[in-house]
Amino acid sequence: MPPSDQSPPADIDEPRTEPEGEGEGEGESASDIDHVGGQSAEAEEQLDDGSGTTAVRADGSARGRRRTWPRRIAVFAAVLLLGVTAFSACFDLATNQRASVPAGLTYVQTGDISTRYRQWGTTGTPIVLVHGFIESADTWQGPAPMLAAAGHRVYALDLDGWGYTQRVAPFDLGHQSTQLLGFIAALHLDRPILVGHSSGAAIVAAATLRSPSSAGGIMFLDGDGLATGAGQKTLLTKLFIEPYRTTLLRLVLHTDAVIRAVYSNMCGPTCPRLDSAGLAQWRRPLQVPGAESSLWAMLNLGVPGLPPQQLAALASLPVPKSVVFGADDSAYTQDTPQQTAARIGAPQPTVIPAARHLTPVNSPAAVAAAIEALAARA
């Protein structure tokens, strides 16, 4: 029969090929979508832009990526902490050998402490020099010989916790002022002039208030004697634990540039540059046995000082007083010298021009002259 020209019945659909990607997902089950896309249907959101076009946003994938970042950060932090801890422990072990105490030092027993001290001169008015925080008797090797040459007996001691004195806890104001009074008694010094540098001013003040007859005169040198809370333990220092704090201290002490930078900042441009002997003067006392543990104990206590009302009691004592500051001392305000002198009943303060905090080092002649002037009033 000839071919028919009739069309197929309307209820029979011919196969239709659609462009690739069109109608994708239509007629598929939820499980098919889960399988093909690797994502759950619940993680996808249908967004209608108003034109009838539907877009699909894979929020599940984005949320998954966001959830992985905290884990990655936590893993990185844990690895970093382990690495730093391992380095710190190894470094501390490698640098654990302590420095020896120099031979030929002079000691005297002051109560429960074997106190190291230096002496210049053998006759004349006794003068006792008391150093400040992170200092030692060697801080006074500039003005002390000048005073001895002027006819005075001069003594400088290492306070408990510092220098080469035997370290006996507690390393606080009460124990150190007791040590000072014990030093005066052990050497049979009759009403010496007491000079306290920086935080040493508080030690001198406390000793004088406890035993006024033990002092022939007192000087606050670059110190106001106040308890300001400086250096006391904070949340940060509580978190700063072993072995990290020991590592940091030893890294600092092993780095000449850091010691020179701190020294230069406190002493100023007029001070001589630290040579190897000068570096050892500041470094070695912090490397002897027991130095690290006592340092942490004192840092937790903070810089020693007294409340204003206690310091004001000095004004009523019949003891000559003097206040001396460097003009460029950044540790205090410009009003501090005048306020300190008024508080303790001293005459107008002496201000050394262009001098920073370490006046015994940067201005030894001016310091010696101020001490001599106080001794003349004693």
Query: Taking a C-beta distance cutoff of 8 angstroms, is the pair 217, 322 a contact?
Result: yes
Residue 353 CA to residue 344 CA, distance in Å, equals 23
**φ and ψ at residue 306, rounded to 5 degrees:** -120, 155
Please write the tens of the pLDDT for every residue from 310-321: 999 999 999 999
Q: What is the pLDDT of residue 239?
A: 59
Residue with tokens 């003097």: 322
Instruction: Establish how many alpha carbons lie within 13 A of residue 289's alpha carbon, considering only the half-sphere containing its beta carbon.
Output: 4
Residue 44 CA to residue 60 CA, distance in Å, equals 7
Extract the tokens encoding 207: 């000793």
Confidence band of 233 (pLDDT split at 50, 70, 90): low
Structural domains of the chain in order of their starting residue, each with its CATH number: 106-231+301-377 (3.40.50.1820)
What does DSSP assign to residue 352? E
Query: Taking a C-beta distance cutoff of 8 angstroms, is the pair 294, 169 a contact?
Result: yes
Please write the tens of the pLDDT for every residue from 162-180: 999 999 999 999 999 999 9
Query: What's the pTM value of the predicted model, to 2 decimals?
Result: 0.79
Distances (CA, A) of 352 to 26, 243, 290: 92, 42, 37
Q: What is the pLDDT of residue 10?
A: 41
Q: What is the CA radius of gyration of the chain?
A: 38
Q: What value does the mean pLDDT of the chain take?
A: 85
pLDDT reading at 31 higher than 90: no
